[in-house]
Amino acid sequence: MANIANSRSSFIFLLCISGLVSGQIRYSIPEELEYGAFVGNIAEDLSLNVRALSGRNVRLVSDSRKQYIEVNLENGILFVNERIDREQLCRQSPSCSLSFQLALDNPLEMRRIAVEILDINDNAPSFSKEEYASGIIELIAPGTLLPLESAHDPDVGTNAISTYQISPNEHFGLRVQARNDGTKSVELLLEKPLDREHQSAFNLVLTAIDGGIPNMSATARIVITIMDANDNAPVFDHETIRTNVPENIREGTFVIKVNAVDLDEGTNAELTYSFSSHVSQNARKLFKLDPITGDIRVEGLLDFEESYIYELDVEAVDKGPYPMVGHAKVLIGLIDLNDNAPEIEVRSLFSAVPEDAQSGTMIATISVRDADSSENGQVQCEIDRDIPFQIQPSFKNNYKLVVSGDLDRETTPLYNITIMARDRGSPPLTTSKIVMVTVSDANDNVPRFTQSSYNVFVMENNSPGASIFAVTASDPDLDQNGELSYLMLGNNIKYTSASPYIMINLKSGAINTLLSFDYELLKTFQIIVQAQDAGSPPLSSTATVNVVILDQNDNAPIIASPIAWNSSSAVEILYHAFSPGYLITKVIATDADSGQNMRLTFQILEATDPSLFSLGRLSGEIRAARHFREHDSMIHRVIIHVRDNGQPSLSSTATIFISILRNVTEKPSVRSYQPRSPEQFPDLNAYLIIMFGSTSFIFFVIIIFLVVLKCKQNRNANYYLSTSSCCCIRWNSNDALNRRAIPKELLNYSGARQTLPISDTHQYTVCLTPESSKSDFLFLKPCEAPLPLNDLNVRGGSVRK
């Protein structure tokens, strides 16, 4: 073992790249290298970018059961992955190499790499015995050769046994000859005549030396006894005998006969045949030599693929008192028959083939071999033609299985591919192998909603957090490619985002409200829901959800006119000379609700003199029902009840004091109501003049402001006027246009980090009702139709039609 260590330490590493010959790269390395030892730089030799190696999926495909060589994808260096024992791998073959394929993708390349395993002198020669004894007759002539048992050295080439040496003596020398198998045979050469009486025995030392650097050796003792008389050795008819037999020859069949002649007489001429010590144990099991007749017969099963020729050394030994030996060589060659079916080996590169694999993608390598020779060992390989795969030859007896058509996992998730290999023997032998190819899922299906658009109706004043709807989408892909999540992409709410109002469940698609809706603030909005899978890259689709808020009767009528001067009651003053039907005042009320919930009716709930006044049920006009009489009270208290048409209905009341003056200089007083005579009222003319003047001024300012605002809005926005609203105005000398605007407020809600401006502006247009011939007023809301969803401009979202 010390010699082996010295041999390894002193071995000069030789790397040779023989070059690229027909796409082949050759390297040479010594055996017994440790793990990680450098073999070659494949990136440099192929002029590849080291960074591109991992991207091109570089891999080694070897026929060996062990992966002796591996490639480092970070630097492109081939290294030893497992210790290589040349003697174990190739025995004593003159040449020994590892062949494998280097496969690269994008584009696909196949390079054949051969790594020659160089022998190192790691084995010392050895003899089967420490001592050999032999006897020779004294009459043997100088120049006679005495065969000696050769030493054994597993190494080859220069590391094998190169020579033998004999210990110094006067009579014997050595003759070393090369055999056909590359080994050395050694014979003891008699150089000087023997004289038994002078020396009856010789004790010699035979040394076998290999050619390694440093060399290694083994010794054996040779004991030669000098015998008398029998001075003729057996001689064979031929030194070398050749014959051929078919490999399927039966056991016991006669092969050949060997024959030798001994010129001596008697027992010195009686011969016995046997195999020499050079014949291997395997050959002894396959052939039997008759010791008397010299017949050689088949003893076991022969196989051309295991060995196509057998070399048998035969000895003929006479029966003299000092036996002499004759030698001959028998060469038995085997004739190959087509007795081996092809073998198929498939190495898959993918556990599953992605369904989006491009045509030409290599998914497996196929190796076929046939142990027979000549045409019996030539193999053709094919697969079915009605599948989206095909095989392409790469080099001798090697193919690649590639994708040749479109794959669709949703249609065919699994293929059973039958590979047929047929040799060219007569008759041909066929082998088949089924390869299971699984198609893995690719994210090639877009999620699909059950509808492209959904309409959702929600009653206002809903409970926050309640689910109002759920969108559903499906994706036929598998696992994460079919795992969907839902989110809101955009919305369509005037002036603001939908996110404070609603949220969508990421997994279920359920849409929940965050706030309670108010129809008077928000009537409808639109959101765009996206369903997105978890593939890479993800695929998505969208659907539109139109949310319509339904009105509830949640707003009581508001008395807009007449205006209460002491925060609780309104005052109207008129001259007593009025006639029946005279318009005293008009009760104007508004309701923020819509539809029937905003339709108002008026009635007198209480009056000082119910016979003096009448009230328009729909118009709210208070008119004189008759002429004023002298005994009538000068101050009248009228309580007006305003009720909407909702279910249940809501109502409001207004108290109006009507002061009747007998002349224009009279000063009315309504500070505290009690039926009294006109002279009890204080002077009110100054207050009335100021009040009417201020009211008129404010009224005209509001009219001018609204007209300017309306014109500006008509220029900058697309407003739609509802023809069903009958927005028209009739004027006469007794009527006035009242328009009330509720200012914008800021809506703050819990959980939000922003203050959202919400339009709280309600506009009411005074329109003359066609049913009134007395200039009745009817308030219709809204006078402008809601904007269509596709005309809305949404902050933070996109407009979609």
Structure tokens at 375: 């045409």
pLDDT score of 725 more than 50: no
- What pLDDT score was predicted for residue 4? 39
More confident residue, 377 or 791: 377
Structure tokens at 456: 């959702």
pLDDT score of 10 more than 90: no
SS3 label, residue 511: strand
pLDDT score of 15 more than 80: no
If you count DSSP H runs as helices and E runs as strands, how many of each does the chain have, helices first? 7, 53
Encoded amino acid at 703, one letter? I
Cα-flanking dihedrals φ and ψ of residue 757, to 5°?
-75, 120
Cα-flanking dihedrals φ and ψ of residue 479, to 5°?
50, -130
Nearest to 31 by CA among 207, 212, 302, 152: 212
What is the percent of the chain where pLDDT is above 70?
A: 81
Dihedral angle, C-alpha 481, 482, 483, 488, nearest 10 °: 100
Beta partners for residue 371, in sequence order: none
Distance of CA 567 to the CA centre of its chain: 74
397 touches 427 (CB < 8 A)? no
Region 590-605: mean pLDDT is 88
443 touches 481 (CB < 8 A)? yes
pLDDT tier for residue 759 given thresholds of 50, 70 and 90: very low
- What pLDDT score was predicted for residue 696? 83
Structure tokens at 119: 């022998």
- What pLDDT score was predicted for residue 497? 63
Distance CA 83, CA 69 (A): 10
Region 165-173: mean pLDDT is 93
pLDDT tier for residue 609 given thresholds of 50, 70 and 90: confident
- What pLDDT score was predicted for residue 686? 64
Starting at the edge strand found earlier in the chain, the sheet holding 613-615 runs: 583-586, 621-624, 613-615
pLDDT tier for residue 491 given thresholds of 50, 70 and 90: low
More confident residue, 429 or 15: 429
Beta partners for residue 374, in sequence order: none
Burial class (CB in 10 A: 0-12, 13-18, 19+), 302: buried
pLDDT score of 773 more than 90: no
Distance CA 331, CA 334 (A): 10
Region 508-535: mean pLDDT is 89
Rounded to 5°, the CA angle 24-29-35 comes to 110
Distance CA 418, CA 428 (A): 18
At a CB cut-off of 8 Å and minimum separation 6, what does 297 contact?
252, 253, 254, 255, 287, 288, 290
113 touches 102 (CB < 8 A)? yes
- What pLDDT score was predicted for residue 498? 64
Helix (H) or strand (E) holding 69, with range, is strand 69-72
Structure tokens at 135: 């006897």
More confident residue, 645 or 12: 645
Beta partners for residue 204, in sequence order: 222
Q: What is the pLDDT of residues 700-712, one digit of tens each?
A: 888 888 888 877 7
Distance CA 402, CA 18 (A): 31
Domains identified in the chain and CATH numbers: 2-118 (2.60.40.60), 131-227 (2.60.40.60), 235-335 (2.60.40.60), 343-440 (2.60.40.60), 558-683 (2.60.40.60), 702-791 (no CATH)
Nearest to 31 by CA among 120, 158, 157: 120
User: Residue 41: which region, alpha, beta or left (left: phi > 0; alpha: psi -120 to 50)?
Assistant: beta
**In this structure, what DSSP letter does residue 21 have?**
S
Q: What is the mean pLDDT of the chain?
A: 79
**DSSP state string for 747-760:** E--TT-SSPEEE--
Q: What is the pLDDT of residues 249-273, one digit of tens each?
A: 999 999 999 999 988 778 888 999 9
Encoded amino acid at 528, one letter? I
Rounded to 5°, the CA angle 163-164-167 comes to 145
161 touches 219 (CB < 8 A)? no
More confident residue, 774 or 80: 80
Pairing state between β 295-298 and 254-257: antiparallel
More confident residue, 116 or 685: 116
Distance CA 499, CA 497 (A): 5
At a CB cut-off of 8 Å and minimum separation 6, what does 48 contact?
42, 56, 76, 104
| Other beta carbons less than 10 A from residue 385's beta carbon | 8
Region 371-388: mean pLDDT is 85
pLDDT tier for residue 493 given thresholds of 50, 70 and 90: low
- What pLDDT score was predicted for residue 298? 94
More confident residue, 672 or 490: 490
Question: How many Å is the Cα radius of gyration of the chain?
Answer: 59
| Other beta carbons less than 10 A from residue 683's beta carbon | 12
Nearest to 335 by CA among 364, 365, 374, 298: 374
Cα-flanking dihedrals φ and ψ of residue 783, to 5°?
-80, -20
Rounded to 5°, the CA angle 182-185-191 comes to 145
pLDDT tier for residue 312 given thresholds of 50, 70 and 90: very high
Distance CA 72, CA 42 (A): 9
Distance CA 801, CA 790 (A): 5
Whether a cis peptide bond, with omega within 30° of 0, leads into 427 is yes
Burial class (CB in 10 A: 0-12, 13-18, 19+), 396: exposed
pLDDT score of 799 more than 50: no
Nearest to 769 by CA among 722, 739, 735: 735
Q: What is the pLDDT of residues 198-213, one digit of tens each?
A: 888 999 999 999 888 8
| Other beta carbons less than 10 A from residue 336's beta carbon | 20
Cα-flanking dihedrals φ and ψ of residue 513, to 5°?
-85, 145
Pairing state between β 353-354 and 430-440: parallel
Rounded to 5°, the CA angle 444-446-448 comes to 145
More confident residue, 329 or 105: 329
- What pLDDT score was predicted for residue 325? 92
SS3 label, residue 283: helix
